[in-house]
């Protein structure tokens, strides 16, 4: 499960309408990338879906249920931020266990999920280290591990790689794509990086000032950009 629909969703901060009425459907299992320049509303959209912000109008549904009836913890969504937000004084194992511990999950189930996530992310040898003893890429993997153990209906990534250097970004892109292939879980991935969008997405949503300029596969956007903005952003030859 992991079908997310936005029906005329709007968001205002004071007098500023940051998201004008917006419709979008994200299918179960899709890898959807929100791309657009800084300030266009990508993070706001993700935070609305996650329930970290309330919509000003319209409705978000998650697997058919109105999000307003689902408190953030019940939405089955796991968010991964660019700042990994790891606890420096805790081991990797404890960092990954934290959300499960908070949820009161039995210890054996916690251990099973940690071992599984560590295998998927190649962190098995690092479980007893602290975040300070890890590389940037490893820290990002721990942050993803903390999302995986929740077995979410969808992962929400907000520019997860923007703190990493260029070489590491390429590797982590492959790792996240591989994770998607393996789990087949819905992923919504926010970036301002065209290369990330073009190489990772099943479906790209191009945003400009809170509005959707175009939705399509990377190839569709490349071949038939709807306007100059999309063409410029996608690097289309038009």
Residues found near ligand ADP in the complex (CB under 6 A): 13, 18, 36, 38-44
# chain residues binding Mg ion, by CB under 5 A: 1
* Pair 160, 85: CB distance under 8 Å: no
Please state the closest distance from residue 58 (CB atom) to ligand ADP, in A: 16
Rounded CA separation 222/238 (Å): 9
Q: Residue 123: name its binding partner from Mg ion, ligand ADP, none (Cβ under 5 to 8 Å by kind).
A: none
> CB-wise, 92 or 206, nearer to Mg ion?
206
Smallest separation (angstroms) from ligand ADP to the CB of 143: 18
43 binds Mg ion (CB under 5 A): yes
Q: What are the phi and psi torsion angles at 186 (to 5°)?
A: -55, 135
- The residue among 43 and 110 lying less far from Mg ion, judged by its C-beta, is 43
Query: Beta-carbon neighbour count of residue 135 at 10 Å?
Result: 11
How many residues are there in the chain?
238
Which residues are bridge partners to 188 per DSSP?
A: 32, 156
Q: How far is the CB of 182 from ligand ADP (least distance, A)?
A: 28
In the complex, minimum distance from the CB of residue 188 to ligand ADP, in angstroms, rounded to a whole number: 13
Q: Any alpha helices (H) in the chain, and if so which ranges?
A: 42-50, 92-102, 107-121, 136-148, 166-183, 194-200, 218-223, 228-234
Residue 121 binds which one of Mg ion, ligand ADP, none, with CB within 5 to 8 A depending on kind? Answer: none
Nearer to Mg ion, 43 or 214 (CB): 43
Q: Smaller CB distance to ligand ADP: residue 148 or 188?
A: 188
Return the one option of Mg ion, ligand ADP, none that residue 41 interacts with (CB less than 5 to 8 A, by type): ligand ADP
In whole angstroms, the minimum distance from the beta carbon of 43 to ligand ADP comes to 3
Cβ(80)–Cβ(155) under 8 Å?
yes
Spell out the residues 6+ positions from residue 217 whose beta carbon is closer than 8 angstroms to its own.
201, 202, 203, 204
Dist. CA 123–CA 35, nearest whole Å:
30
Residue 152 binds which entry of Mg ion, ligand ADP, none, CB below 5-8 Å type-dependent: none
- 206 sits in which H/E element: strand 203-208
Instruction: Closer to ligand ADP by CB, 123 or 230: give it.
Output: 230
Closer residue to Mg ion, CB minimum distance, 43 or 138: 43
In angstroms, the CA 213 to CA 206 distance is: 5
The least distance separating Mg ion from the CB of residue 32, rounded to whole angstroms, comes to 16
Tell me which residues touch Mg ion (CB under 5 A).
43
């Amino acid at each position: 499960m992991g079908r997310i629909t936005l029906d005329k969703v709007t968001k205002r901060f004071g007098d500023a309408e940051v998201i004008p009425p917006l419709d979008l459907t994200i299918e179960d299992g899709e890898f959807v990338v929100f791309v657009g320049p800084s300030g266009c509303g990508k993070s706001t959209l993700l935070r609305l879906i996650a329930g970290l912000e309330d919509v000003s109008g319209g409705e978000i549904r998650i697997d058919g249920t109105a999000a307003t009836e689902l408190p953030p913890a019940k939405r089955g969504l796991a968010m991964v931020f660019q700042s990994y937000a790891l606890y420096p004084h805790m081991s990797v194992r404890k960092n990954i266990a934290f959300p499960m511990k908070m949820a009161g999950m039995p210890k054996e189930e916690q251990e099973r999920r940690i071992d599984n996530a560590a295998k998927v992310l190649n962190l098995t040898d690092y479980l007893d280290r602290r975040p300070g003893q890890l590389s940037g890429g490893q820290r990002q993997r721990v942050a993803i591990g903390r999302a995986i153990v929740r077995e979410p209906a969808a992962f929400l990534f907000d520019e997860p790689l923007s703190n990493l250097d260029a070489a590491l970004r390429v590797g982590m892109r492959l790792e996240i794509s591989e994770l998607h292939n393996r789990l087949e879980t819905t992923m919504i991935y926010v970036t301002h990086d065209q290369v990330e969008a073009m190489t990772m997405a099943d479906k790209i949503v191009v945003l400009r000032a809170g509005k959707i300029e175009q939705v399509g596969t990377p190839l569709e956007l490349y071949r038939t950009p709807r306007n100059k903005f999309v063409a410029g952003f996608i690097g289309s030859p038009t």
